[in-house]
């Protein structure tokens, strides 16, 4: 792996870890969802191993984000083009509040989304 590739997979792994934690998932739980071991999830999150392209759709579904959001966030970290969209800013702010309040926000969102049929 080239130094640039190592950095890319480190950033991607950090993004996966951030999203996993935002959804209150353990590495074991994410591993079960992806049919891989906790050790493999840990290796991906620290960038020690490359996340296979074929796994990206399942990973995105498990983390409730579009595939391009996994990839764009990593590219944006290098490019730094303007402010993040409002939704991304809200998600970032929500990830900073205590877990009990995060659960409340998630319940409210689930209720609203269920009402609109999504």
pLDDT in tens, 58-76: 999 999 888 888 887 555 4
HSE-up of residue 80 (Cα within 13 Å, Cβ side): 1
Q: Domain range spanning residue 8?
A: 1-81
The model's pLDDT over 18-40, given as tens digits with 9 standing for 90+, comes to: 999 988 999 999 999 999 999 99
Are 14 and 65 found together in one domain?
yes
Are 24 and 53 found together in one domain?
yes
Handedness of CA 110, 97, 89, 46 (dihedral sign): negative
Residue 118 pLDDT class (50, 70, 90 cuts):
low
Are 18 and 45 found together in one domain?
yes
- 24 in Cβ contact with 90 (< 8 Å): no
Instruction: Supply the pLDDT for residue 73.
Output: 56
Residue 84 pLDDT class (50, 70, 90 cuts):
low
- 38 in Cβ contact with 27 (< 8 Å): yes
Are 75 and 113 found together in one domain?
no
């Amino acid at each position: 792996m080239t130094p640039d590739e190592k950095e890319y997979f480190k950033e991607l792994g950090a993004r996966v870890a951030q999203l996993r934690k935002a959804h209150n998932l353990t590495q074991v739980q994410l591993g079960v969802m992806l049919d891989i071991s906790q050790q493999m999830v840990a290796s991906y999150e620290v960038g020690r191993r490359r996340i296979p392209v074929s796994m990206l759709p399942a990973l995105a579904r498990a983390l409730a984000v579009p595939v391009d959001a996994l990839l764009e966030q990593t590219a944006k970290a290098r490019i730094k083009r303007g402010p993040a969209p409002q939704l991304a800013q809200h998600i970032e702010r929500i990830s900073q509040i205590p877990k009990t309040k995060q659960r409340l926000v998630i319940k409210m969102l689930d209720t609203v989304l269920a009402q609109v049929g999504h």
